[in-house]
Amino acid sequence: MERKNAITMKGSGLTLLGDEVKPGARAANFTCLDKDLKEASLDDLKGKVKLIASVPSLDTPVCDTEIKRFNDEAAKLSDGLVTVFISMDLPFAQKRFCQDNNIKRIKTFSDHRTADFGMKYGVLIKEMRLLARAIFIIDKDDILRYVQLVPELSSPPDYDKALAALKDVIKT
């Protein structure tokens, strides 16, 4: 499935691969690599509320700000919450980034090997083989409760809307 001009980068249209996911749907299981090169999946996070952020690369200013903000805010909301950032960065780069920036409350997963997450969540950018910027909030029963696909790749997500949706899901 290709969605042409689904997002832009500096005004130029980009094509997203994979089906668009919508709130209310069952979250698809996916396989990525964690920072220690071990397979990680949605199934590993069962029974928890999940905030999953897909980003192009942690080594960009907008992604840097985004992971730091969620490290500070979202991770404080509940012990039953897990926050995951997924990018095409190599696990080694993700590990270094987290160590250098004192990111301790967020798991980082790399989708570089198979793009399984990118395809199953409809955020793989065809022209770049990077992931689009998006926020997915998944409840304890693995149902998607909130999806925010950021229309302009170089723009940040709407933090206020995402955090409000996250608080609502945690309450239920």
* Active site (catalytic) residues: 63
Q: Which of 106, 111, 115 is nearest to 87 (CA)?
A: 111
End-to-end CA distance of the chain: 33
d(CA 62, CA 154): 7
HEC string for 117-166: HHHHCCCEECCCCEECCEEEEECCCCEEEEEEECCECCCCCCHHHHHHHH
d(CA 61, CA 45): 28
d(CA 151, CA 7): 5
